[in-house]
Amino acid sequence: MDSQREPVQVARSAMRILILGGTIEASELAKLVADDKRFDATLSLAGRTMKPRPQPIATRSGGFGGAEALARWLRDEKIEAVVDATHPYADKMSANAVFACGQTGVPLASIVRPPWTAVPGDTWQSVADADAAAHAIGTRPHRVFLSLGRQELGAFAAAPQHHYLGRSVDEPRCVALPPDIRMLLARGPFTIDAETRLLRDEKIEVLVSKNSGGTAIYAKIAAARTLGIRVLMIARPDKATGHPVASAQEAIDWLHHAPPRSLRGV
């Protein structure tokens, strides 16, 4: 993608862009493009959250129906650039975006959020996925905090001997949960003080987390360090990317330089 970069062409009409969202970066980008007449942007959400945060641009919700269908959607909507600002664990959506943009010739940038790295005092154990995390907690009963998406909670039904405290934005649906689980419904960001209090009051011994990166939900990791709590860190999937950018602002800079569709003969 980088090699295709060209000087900005003066556009007669606003550039039609698709932002693949569900993250803070996607919301930041939506804010940046909302008042910019050069862009006509649509934000796409997976539709996992019952009440997503209000957004200042047109929003669509739910899957496209796979990579081919996304390619059709890009053509039908005459999209001229895509920014993949999906979560670091949303690897299927990113693979579909790379495929669809490759097939249609639409330039693609991907906001890549660096992972957290362990610092002295952290006791992290890397696990491949939620199933491996459930196994790694151990045979003896523990008090476990599951700070995960609703989709992953079901894996812990396979380790029913533990007491679980789960936290997600919405009530889990269509998932067979472990028998001894209490859910907290909350949306970040969270403070270190509040997370430390929660982990201490709930006598948590093991924290299961994704390595989401960023600052909004890092407090639980810092709190676990302070309290000496073991963290089972679910490894990141390999995510396909277009032109990598580090932030919403970098994505805007890229959009200003993305080659117009007409230069690529599509």
Which of these, 148, 149, 145, lies nearest to 206 by C-alpha position?
145
Whole-number Å distance between alpha carbons of 78 and 2: 22
Beta bridge partners of 84: 20, 110
Q: Shortest gap between Cβ of 34 and ligand NAP (angstroms)?
A: 18
What Rg do the C-alpha atoms of the chain give, in angstroms?
20
Binding of residue 156 to ligand NAP (CB under 6 A): no
Residues 111-140 as x/- pattern, contact with ligand NAP by CB under 6 A: ------------------------------
Which of these, 207, 256, 245, 251, lies nearest to 227 by C-alpha position?
207
Q: How many residues bind ligand NAP (CB under 6 A)?
A: 23
Residue closer to ligand NAP, measured from CB, 84 or 205? 84
Q: Which of 87, 162, 230, 243 binds ligand NAP (CB under 6 A)?
A: 87
Q: Report the residue number whose CB is nearest to ligand NAP.
A: 22
Task: Return the residue matching tokens 């008090």.
Answer: 143
User: Rounded to 5 degrees, what are φ and ψ at 20?
Assistant: -90, 115
Alpha helices in the chain (DSSP H): 24-34, 67-76, 91-104, 130-136, 150-153, 192-201, 219-227, 248-257
Residues 55-74 as x/- pattern, contact with ligand NAP by CB under 6 A: --------xxxx---x----
Q: Which of 55, 59, 103, 151 binds ligand NAP (CB under 6 A)?
A: 151
Q: Which of 28, 34, 38, 48 binds ligand NAP (CB under 6 A)?
A: 48
Interface contacts to ligand NAP, rule CB under 6 A: 20-22, 44-46, 48, 63-66, 70, 86-87, 89-93, 96, 149, 151-152
